[in-house]
Structure 1
Amino acid sequence: METSTAAPVTTTSAGLRYGLLTGLVSIIFTFILLATGQEGNGGLASIAFVILIVGIVLAHRAFKSANKGYMSYGQGLGIGVLVGGINGILTTVFNYVYRAFIDPDMAARTMDQMRAKLEAAGSMSEAQIEQVVNTSMKYSTGAIGLAIGIVGGFFVGLVFSLVIAAITKNAKPEFE
């Protein structure tokens, strides 16, 4: 008689699996935005948050189904932070590679778009606009941009998970 022992689904395994899947979907979505020239479209870009939320919910569902329907708030929070962090790492590295090697002129176009929007608003002087654009360029490219993107991924995962875990949790009864 053979017994099959499947590896138990832990918070780490669920977070990693769904973080990788969510990151892959986010990269594909980001590439579509970049390829169609829609990277500045805030409405479409907000779909990235929907992708992350769906990834966290699916990770919670998978964890609960492998654990007899139970998941504590802390487990849900941990899974969500891991999904957000892995997603953030993958999409940040993809964006860096895309901007550095595939389309190196993209950063300049983005800064030109920012400059045009700030000039159209008319609430800043030319010197202030130049300072904002230079600061944005400094913090959105290179090692600083990578670090901010990765930390931001974990932070966004935390913020979304605080709410999602409260909704999807199903704590195991204490006296069972």
Structure 2
Amino acid sequence: MENTTTPAVTPVSVGIRYGLLTGIVTVIYSLILKAADLEQMPVMGLLTFAILIAGIVLAHKFYKKASGGFMSYGQGLGIATVTGAVIGVLSGIFNYIYVNFIDTEYAQRTVAAARAKMEADGKLSEEQIDQAMEWTSKMMPTGPLSIFWAILATAFFAFLLALVISAFTKNKRPEFE
């Protein structure tokens, strides 16, 4: 006789599923921003966080639905962290390919835009701006290590967001059920 039961949904499986879905949306959004040269606008960066938050909330909702309506706070944190790590993998690989193979002058344009903004603000001397640009150029990740940093950063921000989101989306299973 064939076993037809479906495997239980785990926080990791949900995190991977929604990390892939949200990561694809994030990569497409990032590509649109880069193509339209809108990436330097702060409002557009906030929309990236909104996409991340939506992905976490939808992952929590899916997990709760598959788990009889229950999800602990820790499970919510785990789901969000895995989701963020998967998004970081996809975003990191996309950015690495984009910066190193598609638009090789992207880093220089970003540094030039930052310089122009600092000069327009008029708060720093030319020497201070030069020093800031030197540090910015050194710190701008363009090599394979940038993928690792993208994974860490996105997982960390997803975890921080989940500290709040999970407090609202959790629904603990009663102890004596």
**If the length of structure 1 is used for normalisation, what is the TM-score?**
0.94
- Name 1:114's counterpart in structure 2: 114
Q: Does the CA contact (< 8 Å) of 2:96 and 2:144 recur in 1?
A: no
What SS is found at the alignment partner of 2:19?
Answer: helix
Residues 29 and 133 from structure 1, CA distance in 2 versus in 1: closer, same or farther, beyond 3 angstroms? same
1:149, distance to aligned residue in structure 2 (A): 2.1
Aligned residue number for residue 52 of structure 2? 52
1:19-168 alignment, distance < 5 Å: 19-141=19-141, 142-168=143-169
What amino acid does structure 1 have at the position aligned with 2:127?
A
* Deviates further, 158-167 or 41-50: 41-50
Residue type matched to 1:53 in 2?
A: I
Measured after TM superposition, the shift of residue 150 of structure 1 is: 2.0
Residue identity matched to 1:73: Y
Where does the alignment leave 5 or more consecutive residues of structure 2 unmatched? none
CA contact (8 A) 1:139 1:145 kept: no
Q: CA deviation at 1:3?
A: 4.6
What is the distance in 2 between the residues matched to 1:4 and 1:135? 59
Deviations 1:37-84 (A, max 9, x none): 111111122111111101001110111111100000000010011111
> Structure 1 stretch 132-141 or stretch 95-104: which is displaced more?
132-141
Q: What letter corresponds to residue 152 of structure 1 in structure 2? A: A
**How many corresponding residue pairs?**
176
Task: Output the CA distance in 2 between the equivalents of 1:150 and 1:127.
Answer: 34
Give the aligned partner of residue 5 of structure 1. 5
Q: CA deviation at 1:96?
A: 1.3
Paired position in structure 2 for 1:174? 175
Normalised to the residue count of structure 2, the TM-score between the two structures is 0.94
- After superposition, the C-alpha distances for 1:143-167 in whole angstroms (9 at most, x for unaligned) are 4533332211111011110011100
- Corresponding residue SS for 1:7: coil
The letter of the residue matching 1:116 is A
User: Which aligned runs of 4 or more in structure 1 are off by greater than 3 angstroms?
Assistant: 143-147
**Structure 1 CA distance for aligned equivalents of residues 127 and 147 of structure 2:** 27
